[in-house]
Amino acid sequence: MGTAAVDRIELEDKVKQVYRAVAQNPAGKYHFKMGRGLAEQLGYPAWLLDAIPAAAVESFAGVGYFFDLADLRPGEKILDLGSGSGMDVFAAAVTVGSGGQVVGLDMTEEQLEKADGLRKEGGFPQVAFAHGYIEELPFDDASFDCIISNGVINLSADKAAVFREAARVLRPGGRLAVADIVTERPLTQQIVCNIDLWAACIGGATQEDTYQELIAGSGFALKTLRTNPYEFLSDSARAATTKYGVRSLSILAYAG
């Protein structure tokens, strides 16, 4: 998929730079939409957004809605890959209740600091945040009932490792419910090597068929794929979207 052409250290630095800004300056100008307006457009119900800390909602930069697919239940243990400022973590916490547990994993310290501050202020004892990488999860085997992720896996240069690790830490029969960016046609090396477009959730987007193969190859059974009403903002991102069929999908799969 051309990921070998990407300098992974440079990519990590750029992604951290972008999402540090998302945490600290949610009103800034980005390739993508943010905040409550985006969340409502994607399908998040108003009552759920009202139950989440407003500062987490304002830094929301997801690409889809999947909680109806995830079907979270009271008392379950949930992991959010690339949790950012915590909006989806808090949304999951509302559903699993005080008897459940939701862990948010992120590699950007500023996002974690903001999210953990909101956890303390908002009174979410069932929530925890951890620093780490989605390609190498710092959790035991079969630790979670459901894994969620929103617009993050496309940022990884090793998606196969992400899905292998997700399968490892899910209990048998556990669910993977994610929203992510895929393409209809393979991207050119020029786009794949563009760090700015990687950080914008385009440069690392995998062709849809390959994305599904990576999930299935990690031992998951695909259940649902749904297109999301998601659009990019910048001219360069829109141009790539039009030319290569870049789009957002919500996906539900079950661990073997």
Pairing of strands 77-81, 127-131: unpaired
Residue among 89, 83, 107 nearest 52 (CA): 89
What is the pTM for the complete model shown? 0.93
Query: Alpha carbon of 237 to those of 6, 7, 30, 77, 226: distances in Å?
Result: 18, 20, 10, 36, 21
What is the percent of the chain where pLDDT is above 70? 98
pLDDT at 142 over 60: yes
Sign of CA dihedral 255, 225, 211, 5: negative
Which pLDDT band, with edges at 50, 70 and 90, does 11 fall under? confident
pLDDT at 247 over 70: yes
pLDDT at 169 over 80: yes
Q: How many CB atoms lie within 10 A of CB 235?
A: 9
pLDDT at 2: 39
* b/e per residue 166-192 (b: at least 16 CB within 10 A): bbbbbeeebbbbbbbbbbeeebeeebb
189-229 pLDDT, tens digit per residue, is 888 878 777 777 788 899 999 999 999 999 999 999 999 99
